[in-house]
Amino acid sequence: MNKRVIFKEVDYSEDMEFYAHEQLEKFEPLLEEEAEQAKIDLIIEPDELQDYNRISIQVKSPSYAFDVKDRYTKDEFSVVLDRLVSSITQQIADQQQKEIEKTPAHKRITFRNMEHSAVMRDYADQQLTKLEHFLENERTPIYIDLVFEPSKLREHHRIELRVKTPLYDKISNYEYQGEKFYDVLDRVIDIMYKELHEEKQRIKRDNRKTVGRHKEFKKQR
pLDDT (mean) for 53-74: 93
The pLDDT value recorded for residue 101 is: 63
Q: Is the pLDDT of residue 33 over 80?
A: no
Mean pLDDT of the chain, nearest integer: 87
CATH of 103-202, one of 3.30.420.40, 3.40.50.1820, 1.20.970.10, 3.30.160.100: 3.30.160.100
pLDDT (mean) for 9-33: 92
Can you give the pTM of this predicted structure?
0.51
The pLDDT value recorded for residue 13 is: 93
Residues 156 and 128: beta-carbon distance below 8 Å: no
Residue 51 confidence class, pLDDT cut points 50, 70, 90: confident
Q: Is the pLDDT of residue 179 over 90?
A: no
The pLDDT tens digits of the residues spanning 86-129 come to 999 999 998 887 776 655 678 999 988 878 888 989 999 999 99
CA distance 51 to 55: 14
The pLDDT tens digits of the residues spanning 76-87 come to 999 999 999 999
- Residue 27 makes CB contacts below 8 A (sequence gap 6+) with 1, 3, 38, 40, 59, 85, 88, 89, 92
Question: Where do the domains of the chain lie?
Answer: 2-101, 103-202
2-101 against 103-202: fold identical: yes
pLDDT (mean) for 46-71: 93
The CATH class of 2-101 is: alpha beta
CA distance 192 to 172: 6
Residues 32 and 69: beta-carbon distance below 8 Å: no
The pLDDT value recorded for residue 22 is: 95
Upstream peptide bond of 141 is cis (omega within 30 degrees of 0): yes
Residue 221 confidence class, pLDDT cut points 50, 70, 90: low
